[in-house]
Structure formats: structure tokens, C-alpha cells
Amino acid sequence: MFVGYIWVIGFMPDIRRVFGYHGAEHKTINAYEAKAPLTVEGVRPFTTAHPRCGTAFLLTIVVLSILVFAPLARLPLGWGLVARVLLIPVIAMLGYEFIRFSARHINNPIMRAVITPSLALQSLTTRPPDDSMLQVSIAALKRVLEIEGNLSVE
């Protein structure tokens, strides 16, 4: 249902535009991490997929929730509800750490296979950006880097 919902809303013009900005964000981050010039020409060739994407995090949380909560279905309603609420932070932590781990080991063929569904899902939540979207994304990243004192790429 989640994937179907994302697919359907992707046809709405406003959401398509949002997904274009999402693609611009990924291209810009990929360029920055590759130490490419933060210019439209420098960013344009990069992919719209990124291993630490929020979309990947959401899919990871959905899968972890199924794996963790399925055995709790046998608990009485009250205990099951309490257990689920208490486990939400644990699932979020596991998902976060998995995303970080998978990004660090992206070149491992096994890890690449494990995260392929997350990268595929990003094809629904990103669109190829136009140059104006890339300019916005580049300006936003440069401002963040400037604020953090990390503007080392011009």
C-alpha cells in the first residue's frame, strides 16, 4: 500500500515538482561527497539515488516494524499495544543505524543487494531536476556548509 500510494501521488503536478527538488538534493549531495564542483554542470551528471535517503529510512522502518511487531500479535491487546509503543524508539534506532551502516558498506555486493529495494523506491520519490532546481539545491547546501564552517568546495 505504501509503494502504491507513493506511485499514485507521483502523478500530481505539485508532487512531481517536489520529487524534482528531491532529485536535485540527491544529485547535489552525491556531487559534494564525490568532491565534484558545486555548480549546475558539476552536479548534473550525478544520480538521483542516495543510500542515506529518508525514503530508504522509511522503507527500512516498515520492514523492521513488520519483523518486530509480527511476533507481538499473540500478546493480549493491552500488552501488545504497550510493547509496540515501547519498541518504536528501538525500531527507529535500528533503522537509523542500518542506514548509516549500509551507506558505509555500499560497495559490498551483499549490502548492495540488501539496499536495492530502497534505491528502487527512490525512483518513485525523485525525478530528474531541471537546472533551476539544481541551483536551489546547490545554494542550500553551500549555505549549510557555510553555517557549519565546512565550505571547502566552491
What's the Cα-to-Cα distance from 125 to each of 13, 26, 88, 101, rounded to whole Å?
A: 13, 11, 25, 22
CA distance 36 to 39: 9
How do residues 2-42 score in pLDDT, each as one tens digit?
789 999 999 999 999 999 999 999 999 999 999 999 999 99
Of 53, 55, 50, the residue nearest 2 (C-alpha): 55
CA distance 136 to 109: 34
Residue 145 burial (CB count, 10 A): 15
Looking at residues 108-129, what average pLDDT do you find? 94
Please report which confidence band the pLDDT of residue 150 belongs to, taking 50, 70 and 90 as the band edges.
confident
How do residues 47-105 score in pLDDT, each as one tens digit?
999 999 999 999 999 999 999 999 988 889 899 899 999 999 999 999 999 999 999 99
Of 54, 27, 55, the residue nearest 40 (C-alpha): 27
